[in-house]
Structure 1
Amino acid sequence: MSTTTTARGQLVGKVALVTGASRGIGAAIARRLAREGAAVAITYHSSPGHADKVVESITSAGGKAVAIAADAADAEAVRASVNGTVETFGRLDILVNNAGGGPFGPFEQLTVDDFDRSVAVNIRSVFVATQAALRHLGDGGRIISIGSVFAERMPVPNGTPYSLTKAAIGGFTRALARELGPRAITVNNVQPGPVDTDSNPADGDIASVMIPLTPAGRFASPEELTGLIVYLAGPESGYVTGATINIDGGYTV
């Protein structure tokens, strides 16, 4: 039986947009939201084949999904992805700001263009997508950003811009939660620890540093993050807002 089939249906009738979801954490989130009954739009930048596979895995199990090309660093493309979601499915209830990345390297060798790209992908895209989504979200809307525990603890050199930009998401989350409280729209920040993905494999170079620092003694699978996302996206989390929640195997303790 496919893991994408609708199980408990906590999100039946809802529409979600997950940015940067052609693979890894974003893909796992998209599949899980669909499993819970949501229609799901995903964005991708450089991996249309992977995005198509995510969509196919959802639709073949009876769900609804669409892939939209959008570079997270392109503000107009990000806005268009929000509008495209609404045009396709008629509404928007859940925004998951998952797209992220950025150059790593010795601080003194990084360029202003490197910095600008980090800010564009990790901060500006969250600002733009959220602002566009708020034109469509009604009472009970959900905004969930995927941050990083590197906002709190960077275990290796050469990650300064990434740490800086991911730390900004916590402040954004707290401030916007206060602003949107009267509209019953929640805003939360989920910070994964070491997760086994194509870009950060459990047998990669950084694993030898991360695993000894993680009480759980291993990397997570992307699927291990999705239960919290479903909770934050669903009807039982209406009193959870402005929170930063780590899923990190104890990495930040």
Structure 2
Amino acid sequence: MGVLTGRTALVTGGGRGIGRGIAERLGRDGARVAVHYGSNEAAAKETVAAIEAAGGSAFAIGVELGLPGDAEALWESFDRQADGLDILVNNAGIGTSRSFDEIDETEYDKVFAVNVRAPHFISRLGASRLRDGGRVINISSGLARNAAMPDKMAYAMTKGALDVFTRDLSKVLGPRGITVNSVAPGIIDTDSTAEFLHGTEDGWAQASAISALGRVGTPADVADVVAFLASDDGRWITGSWVDATGGSLM
């Protein structure tokens, strides 16, 4: 019996990268996991298959975020396959943005639509489905605090907004025993960072040097933090920003 046996989780963007790591970890801990994807159905199905192969239970939900009605469509699909929710992980997001001098209004609006508006309304509509004592975990970024990278300004702004959302939503849902926290990764070895980490001569070395621990993070490093907050052991932590950068902000 896993620590999350009998609970249902939804991980947005759960088919790849950090989201897949989170989905698989929650599945190993016993949760039934809804694996959301925006466009890559094959990746989501691979994640579902991996969870099931490990003895867990999962299903896929395909909804493109950042469009009008996205939250409603997501929950309609979820409701066809599950009855109630215990853990909501708002992980899906656009992981970068062009610089201050280059970004146009279309890209700016898209980044905010996916990274800020979607989690807000997914959580708002999901609140009625969340059982008392549940969890909301938002995936932020080290760039929202002390690590300034002006070439990704708009992206960092969205994560700052998500952190304010986390703080204030914890007060809204707290009376029901629902905790709300942000988890902030640093540089993680995923397909979204592959070009920098593996496609440049010294990308891996540069990324390793940023961390106080001297290595590049893995999806499992972040997933383990999320799993702690999702468990009963994390019951007294809410409204918090949890640094999961491997000491990259020091």
Contact 2:95 2:192 in 1 (8 A): no
Structure 2 equivalent of residue 203 of structure 1: 198
What CA deviation, in whole Å up to 9, does each residue of 1:95-114 have, x standing for no partner? Answer: 00000115522312211111
Contact 1:102 1:117 in 2 (8 A): no
What CA deviation, in whole Å up to 9, does each residue of 1:67-114 have, x standing for no partner? Answer: 111112124233322332233121111100000115522312211111
**Which of the residues 37, 57, 63 maps onto 1:64?**
57
Q: What are structure 1's unaligned runs of at least 5 residues?
A: 1-7
Aligned-pair distance for 1:128? 1.1
Q: What are structure 2's unaligned runs of at least 5 residues?
A: none
The alignment partner of 1:89 has SS state of coil
Contact 1:28 1:226 in 2 (8 A): yes
The alignment partner of 2:169 has SS state of helix
Counterparts in 2 of 1:103-118, with a 5 A limit?
Answer: 103-118=96-111
Residues 31-40 or 155-164, more deviating: 155-164
Matched, 1:160 2:160: no
Amino acid at match of 1:234: S
The percentage of counterpart residues that share the same residue type is 37
Structure 2 equivalent of residue 5 of structure 1: none
Matched, 1:95 2:92: no
Amino acid at match of 1:123: V
**Which of the residues 12, 18, 34 maps onto 1:25?**
18
Contact 2:66 2:117 in 1 (8 A): yes
RMSD: 1.7
Counterparts in 2 of 1:39-188, with a 5 A limit?
Answer: 39-101=32-94, 103-154=96-147, 156-188=149-181
Contact 1:103 1:114 in 2 (8 A): no
TM-score (normalizing by structure 2): 0.92
Aligned-pair distance for 1:207? 4.3
Residues 15-24 or 72-81, more deviating: 72-81
**Which of the residues 205, 212, 215 maps onto 1:215?**
212
Aligned-pair distance for 1:210? 3.3
Matched, 1:237 2:248: no
The alignment partner of 1:41 has SS state of strand
Amino acid at match of 2:52: T
Distance in 1, Cα, partners of 2:206 & 2:68: 35
Amino acid at match of 2:198: D
Distance in 2, Cα, partners of 1:20 & 1:218: 25
Distance in 2, Cα, partners of 1:57 & 1:180: 33
The alignment partner of 1:119 has SS state of helix
Contact 1:14 1:92 in 2 (8 A): yes
Contact 1:96 1:145 in 2 (8 A): yes
Distance in 2, Cα, partners of 1:46 & 1:23: 11
Contact 1:173 1:189 in 2 (8 A): yes
What CA deviation, in whole Å up to 9, does each residue of 1:101-131 have, x standing for no partner? Answer: 1552231221111110110011001101101
The alignment partner of 1:141 has SS state of strand
Amino acid at match of 1:231: F
Specify whether residues 240 and 15 from structure 1 end up closer, same or farther in structure 2 by C-alpha distance, changes over 3 A only: same
